[in-house]
Amino acid sequence: MREQMQPELAGGEVLVKVIYAGICGSELSGYLGHNALRVPPLVMGHEFAGEIVALGVEARARHAALHEGQRVTVNPLAYCGRCEYCQRGLNQLCLSRQLIGAHRPGAYAEFVTAPAENVLPLPGDLSPRLGALTEPVAVAVRIAELAGPVAGEDVFIAGAGPIGLLALQTLQAKGTRRVFVSDLEPARLSMVEALGGEPVDARNSDVVKSVRSATDGRGVPVSVEAVGAAITREHCLKATRTAGMVILTGLHEETSALHVSDVIRRELTLRGSFSYSPQNFADALERLASGDIRLDPWIVVAPLAEGGIWFERLIDEPGAVAKVLLVP
């Protein structure tokens, strides 16, 4: 823990007192020195909910729906709104995007500033505890969007971390027949089963053979790589049927070797899924408010001062924990 000055509030920004801030896999990668966006010294933290304590002059004039004392969540991706990608609704691909917790100070602190247009009031009686999950749910909403029509189909997800568990649910909501989810951790495989997925034990079985055997040798039309490791990327390629799609979203390892000849010869589509659009983020908040998606009872709440302990645990052996929320 270290002390620093309260962030200065610009005219178009909102100052938020952080109530809960989640630990993301990308922050674990930054902690390990594997993430080029997160270079010390830096205040990380981009999944959060809190309470508005102040608004800049421009923010107050342009965003009448926002006010002090309001409980909110924040889309941490700041974007220009003018470039070709923003104009197409792909603000997450903005050429000048900045991420709270990477390019600017994040939510592992008492206070954080954010552009007013990125601040969303929590609807109804949605708690800040659940509101802090909006960001990772938005990632899963984007994954399901890119997966296309999967009703009645089988899908494979490599990794039962928070994104894998949330993608399981957003894909199920599209009417999938079965969703196979692999992981090394027995506790996380139990979560998969509790959420209605088909657990695949990556420690004690051959993942690719298991998925292909369950699909009459064909493989699945869509695989989602939610770890970011060479082995899980390989699993997804091999578990996907000819002319199928592999969605790559895990960022743990920035580079890894791929069997490109297999991609070519089987005409596989490799599709990156980065973050979410503003609409995905709004949809995620709505899904949380309606109770359609969950990570309970596997959410742990801990003081920010214990963040280092939880970073180490999540890296080594997370156990029956889907999300850790830190409280400043």
Domain boundaries, the chain: 13-133+295-327, 139-272
Q: What is the largest CA-CA distance in the chain?
A: 62
Q: Which of 7, 20, 15 is nearest to 114 (CA)?
A: 15
pLDDT in tens, 105-139: 999 999 999 999 999 999 988 999 999 999 999 99
Where does 139-272 sit in CATH, by number?
3.40.50.720
pTM: 0.94
**Cα–Cα distance for residue pair 14/53, rounded to 1 Å:** 8
Asked whether the beta carbons of 225 and 250 are under 8 A apart, the reply is yes
DSSP-derived pairing of the beta strands 178-183 and 198-201: parallel
Asked whether the beta carbons of 58 and 12 are under 8 A apart, the reply is yes
**Cα–Cα distance for residue pair 14/59, rounded to 1 Å:** 7
Give the model's pLDDT for residue 33: 66
pLDDT in tens, 197-213: 999 999 999 999 999 99
Q: Which CATH architecture has domain 13-133+295-327?
A: Alpha-Beta Complex (3.90)
Asked whether the beta carbons of 99 and 46 are under 8 A apart, the reply is yes
pLDDT in tens, 215-257: 999 999 999 999 999 999 999 999 999 999 999 999 888 889 9
**CA-based end-to-end distance of the chain:** 10
